[in-house]
Structure 1
């Protein structure tokens, strides 16, 4: 079952059944993954915020 905090998903496939199966597979993969460590979260945040910092410095 999808977690309630997951946002609305884009439509990957026009066929509704195929689209639902795709996202169900993604949910299963995510649900099996171990939680991220604080260091992993920091690396991800840095990767996403880095381009913004470069633009601000320019």
Structure 2
């Protein structure tokens, strides 16, 4: 029998053997390198974006249901009127 890794997320949902995020594509790497400057000090700016990357990389990928909800919000008539 194999050992399973159990992880609890913010919503209390238990994830069993959740795979990590896939490797970055070349387009994602280019987008990360073309980010805005958040701090004039290059070292602090790099540290800021490293913290953001770490948060994003440890988060589980969206489920299909979550993607559908987000798409519905951005394509609703109210979102278009607000823009």
TM-score (norm. length: structure 2): 0.53
1:4-43 paired onto structure 2 within 5 Å: 4=26, 5-6=28-29, 7=31, 8-43=34-69
Aligned-pair Cα RMSD in Å: 1.6
Higher relative contact order (CA 8 A, sep 6+): 1
Which ranges in structure 2 are unaligned for 5 or more consecutive residues?
1-23
Runs of 4 or more, structure 1, over 6 Å off, are none
Structure richer in strand, relative to its length: 2
Q: How high is the TM-score relative to the length of structure 1?
A: 0.71
Quick check: which has more Rg, 1 or 2?
2
Gaps of 5+ in 1: none
